[in-house]
Amino acid sequence: MTSAKIAVIGGDGIGPEVTAEAIKVLTAVAPDTFEFVDYDLGAERWLRTGEVLPDSVLEELKHVDAIALGAVGAAPGSKAIPSGLLERGLLLKLRFAFDHAINLRPSILYPGVPTPLAPGLVEGRTVDFVVVREGTEGLYCGNGGAVRVGTAQELATEVSVNTYFGVERVVRDAFRRAQARRGKLTLLHKHNVLVNAGRLWNRAFTEIAAEFPDVTTNYLHIDAAMIAMVVDPSQFDVIVTDNLFGDIVTDLAAAVTGGIGLAASANINPTGEYPSMFEPVHGSAPDIAGKGIADPTAAISSMALLLDHLGRPELARRIDEAVSADIAERGGEKLGTTQIGDRIAARVA
Amino acid sequence: MTSAKIAVIGGDGIGPEVTAEAIKVLTAVAPDTFEFVDYDLGAERWLRTGEVLPDSVLEELKHVDAIALGAVGAAPGSKAIPSGLLERGLLLKLRFAFDHAINLRPSILYPGVPTPLAPGLVEGRTVDFVVVREGTEGLYCGNGGAVRVGTAQELATEVSVNTYFGVERVVRDAFRRAQARRGKLTLLHKHNVLVNAGRLWNRAFTEIAAEFPDVTTNYLHIDAAMIAMVVDPSQFDVIVTDNLFGDIVTDLAAAVTGGIGLAASANINPTGEYPSMFEPVHGSAPDIAGKGIADPTAAISSMALLLDHLGRPELARRIDEAVSADIAERGGEKLGTTQIGDRIAARVA
Ligand SMILES: CC(C)[C@H](C(=O)O)[C@@H](O)C(=O)O
Ligand SMILES: CC(C)[C@H](C(=O)O)[C@@H](O)C(=O)O
């Protein structure tokens, strides 16, 4: 990586605000390394032009080295923008078009971060795990339909699609990560009810486990995982799960490790054929947009995942350490968006 | 209700242990009122006879006034019993055969109950809400399949089925309950991704809301609900959601209000054509079965829901009050299964 081209999609709501700080930190940790290209996509673009993600833009994006995304999506109750239009037309479109099979979501409870959990449950324990969420299948394929829409006889379906190809690669990725960490991998599913998908996930998990005898494995139903996550999140090292369960459990994981304002994520294309994408787990939070109060930490930490992915782990660790040190120094104090960005940028420089 | 016939299905693991205490309390609060008929169903019956729920038993069960169920299901890792066989062949079979559309799951944080949440988040606030979970549709229909099973080309699907008929009745039920409580109803879904099912749920919710102008409504994506549930569960009054989201959120709700050992539930047939079923939210917990340490409180509280359903709210409240008083007196002390049953039975007598 001498010079790398990063596509920046700030998106909606607080997205552009937090992304600006992420880019600030990335530039501070690696000056003269990145070329940034801004893409004006999201709610405003759609309202102005009716375009969500033009084909020409998708084509251009194919050739960048990585994508830094802020957040996408109108307010849930918005009347101007149909529900999910931007999420599906932009965020999910990119995840699917660029085959982002591995949706990586680390959760670390940094010292000094206020957690909603009772002190006794986390004191003296290390909460540091990563969820490997499948990113290209499951209920996210848009494979549903409806008949007799708008009538009392309406029937609406949603189909969860699971292939061995898709499951195998994410499970294998998770085993590798577990092996490189504390050697523990947990599969989350609901195979007592979702028997077809469950059998496939179980088979892939069991088969690949045989190749990783040094990784300890266990299984939790997704409902039981909710309890485990709040009573003892320190039990987890690596978690692997499908697209929807991953969506749900990572928000809970973020909440117990200090909130969605700190949760970073990477959408990784496993073959390198397409650019990977780095984004905070949080959404566009329209309610606090424009106030300068959004926490950019998650967006900044996502840049560490980007650096890891581009083969610069030493720079990635500098961001991680700066984030951790800054959070400790803040001690729960609420700082503004640019203030946090400036502080972390100064630390990594 | 002069005399009512209750079918008792203890089931597996701790199921029979907690159910015995529930029946003890029910008999104490209403002596000479109930006739109990025991049904030997579950893992052991299946291992012995290969039968999960014979048609003749299903036919008999149709004619009882209510069903008290303990828990069903083998240990997740069990080799002797195929995954989900008992859950689907017995528990879900009963919910579907008896059209248990309304799966009611109250969560109350009783004074003195240890919660995994930080004290500051719940102190001085009332956490008292009920989840109305749809019970007969969604991903629980068993409407999935697989091709090329066992190969590298396997494809497995699961279909979420949502009908206006099914959604309307559960949403209406939830509005009624909200009206009779604190007047607030929250819809949980993921309509930005599950657009077909989401549109149907939204429409039913919006239409019925117009009939209940005194009920305040809001909407949360299921992932955002995870965060809301741990940072401020006091914000909820009534929650309505689909079968799978309801499964997931009620375990989390149980966890934050003192654990699955306290969470009661009712599976209600809305027309009264079939018997309703009352059961703790927790599973069969094979790891602690036979030790006499399972907490029967959830099973006991489920009997209050049974009494409500059979038109004896004054007796139901006696159980609720006894449970609450006993929990306060326990003060977090761990008591045995029969000990708790005896104490609550003595209080209601
Ligand atoms: C915005 C939404 C489509 C998205 C998802 O469901 O994946 C978000 O919740 C996330 O977790 O990245
Ligand atoms: C045992 C299982 C099938 C069941 C469900 O998923 O509904 C349980 O988790 C519950 O919540 O009652």
Q: Look at residues A257, A287, A306 and tell me which one is the last residue of a structural domain.
A: A257
Residue B1's pLDDT band (boundaries 50, 70, 90)? low
- Residue B245 belongs to some domain of the structure: yes
State whether B295 and B163 are in the same domain. Answer: no
How many Å lie between the centroid of ligand 1 and the Cα of residue A189? 18
DSSP per position, B268-311 = E-TTSSS-EEEEESS---GGGTTTT----HHHHHHHHHHHHHTT
User: What band does B331 get if pLDDT is binned at 50, 70 and 90?
Assistant: confident
Give A247 Cα–ligand 1 centroid separation in angstroms: 6
Counted residue by residue, chain B has a size of: 349
Instruction: Tell me the C-alpha distance between A198 and A157, whole Å.
Output: 19
Evaluate: CB of A258 within 6 angstroms of ligand 1: no
C-beta of A73 in contact with ligand 1 (< 6 A): yes
Residue A92: which domain range? 1-100+269-349
Flag whether B159 is in a domain: yes
Say which residues have a Cβ less than 8 Å from residue A205's Cβ, sequence separation at least 6. A171, A187, A217, A219, A240
pLDDT digits (tens, 9 = 90+) for A198-227: 999 999 999 999 999 999 999 999 999 999
Token reading at B11: 């089931």
Is residue B110 situated within a structural domain?
Answer: no
Which pairs count as long-range contacts for A279-282, CB under 8 Å and 24+ apart, including other chains? A279/A68, A279/A69, A279/A70, A279/A71, A280/A18, A280/A70, A280/A71, A281/A105, A281/A250, A281/A251, A281/A254, A282/A14, A282/A71, A282/A254
> Tell me, what amino acid is at A329?
E
Instruction: Please report residues of A whose CB lies closer than 8 A to that of B142.
Output: 195
- What's the pLDDT score for residue B44? 87
Same-domain pairing of B178 and B137: yes
Residues A225, A123: one domain? yes
Work out the percent of chain A whose per-residue pLDDT is above 70: 99
- Percent above pLDDT 90 for chain B: 90
Residues B207 and B328 reside in one and the same domain = no
Segment B317-340 shows an average pLDDT of 93
| Model confidence at A76: pLDDT above 70 | no
Residues B43, B124: one domain?
no
The number of residues making up chain A comes to 349
> Is the pLDDT confidence value at A75 over 80?
no
A155: closest chain B residue by CA: B163
Ligand 1 pocket, residue B60 CB under 6 Å: no
Residues A290 and A204 both lie in one domain: no
Q: H helices of chain B, where?
A: 15-29, 43-49, 55-61, 85-86, 93-97, 119-122, 164-180, 195-209, 222-231, 243-256, 297-309, 313-330, 337-348
Query: Of B116, B195, B260, which has the smallest distance from its Cβ to A117's Cβ?
Result: B116
Sign of the torsion angle spanned by Cα atoms A236, A242, A248, A251: positive
CA-based nearest residue in chain B for residue A257: B227
Angle, alpha carbons B209-B127-B174 (nearest 5°): 25
DSSP assignment letter at B137 = S
How many Cβ atoms are within 10 Å of A31's Cβ, its own excluded?
9
Residues B123 and B251 in one domain: yes
Nearest partner of A305 among A12, A25, A33, judged by Cα? A25
- H helices present in B37-163, as ranges: 43-49, 55-61, 85-86, 93-97, 119-122
Q: How many domains are contained in chain B?
A: 2
- The answer to whether residue B306 is domain-embedded is yes
Mutate to test the pocket of ligand 2, among B247, B248, B265, B282 (most ligand atoms within 8 A of CB): B247
Least CB-CB distance to A192: which of B83, B248, B255? B83
Same domain membership, residue B165 and residue B53: no
Catalytic residue annotation of A: 140, 190, 223, 247, 251
**C-alpha B71: how far from its chain's center?**
11
As a whole number, mean pLDDT of residues B35-62 equals 95
Task: Average the pLDDT over B266-273 and give the result.
Answer: 98
Indicate whether B77 pLDDT > 80.
no
B151 and B209 part of one domain: yes
Q: Which of A257, A285, A312 is the last residue of a domain?
A: A257
Q: What is the pLDDT of residue B127?
A: 97
Q: Is residue A262 part of a domain?
A: no
Q: What is the pLDDT of residues A294-320, one digit of tens each?
A: 999 999 999 999 999 999 999 999 999
Amino acid making up residue A282? H
CA of A151 relative to ligand 2 center, distance in Å: 31
- Lowest pLDDT segment from A100-104, A144-148, B108-112: B108-112
Nearest listed ligand to the Cα of residue B76: 2
* CATH number of the structural domain spanning residue A32: 3.40.718.10
| Owner of token pair 């018997």 | B275
Residue A1's pLDDT band (boundaries 50, 70, 90)? low
**Per residue in A119-155, pLDDT tens?**
999 999 999 999 999 999 999 999 999 999 999 999 9
pLDDT at residue A81 above 70?
Answer: yes
What angle in degrees, to the nearest 10, is found between the helix axes of A297-309 and A337-348? 40
Domain assignment of residue B41, yes or no: yes
Look at residue A106 and tell me if it is in a domain.
no
pLDDT at position B318 over 60: yes
Residue with tokens 């809400």: B129
Q: Is the pLDDT of residue A79 over 90?
A: no
Q: Reduced to 3 states, what is the DSSP secondary structure of residue B192?
A: coil
Point out the residue among A76, A153, A200 whose CB comes nearest to the CB of B146: A200
Question: How much is the mean pLDDT over chain A?
Answer: 95
Q: What mean pLDDT do residues B23-38 have? A: 97
Note the ligand closest to the C-alpha atom of A282: 1
The tokens of B179 are what? 């009206």
Same structural domain, B130 and B203: yes
Judgement on whether residues B89 and B175 belong to the same structural domain of the protein: no
Whole-number Å distance between alpha carbons of B307 and B317? 9
Domain presence at residue A172: yes
Mean predicted confidence (pLDDT) in B123-139 = 97
Domain end marker among A231, A257, A283: A257
For residue B2, pLDDT over 70 is answered with no
Rounded to the nearest 5°, which phi and psi values hold at B77?
-90, 5
Q: What pTM does this model have?
A: 0.96
* pLDDT tens for each residue of A238-259: 999 999 999 999 999 999 999 8
Q: How confident is the model at residue B131 (pLDDT cuts 50, 70, 90)?
A: very high
- Regarding whether A67 and A18 lie in a shared domain, the answer is yes
Residues of B involved in catalysis: 140, 190, 223, 247, 251
- Percent of chain A residues topping a pLDDT of 90: 90
Mean pLDDT, chain B, rounded, equals 95
Q: If you average pLDDT over residues B250-257, what whole number do you get?
A: 97
- Please give, rounded to a whole number of angstroms, the shortest distance from the CA of B249 to a CA of chain A: 8
The confidence score (pLDDT) of residue B76 equals 67
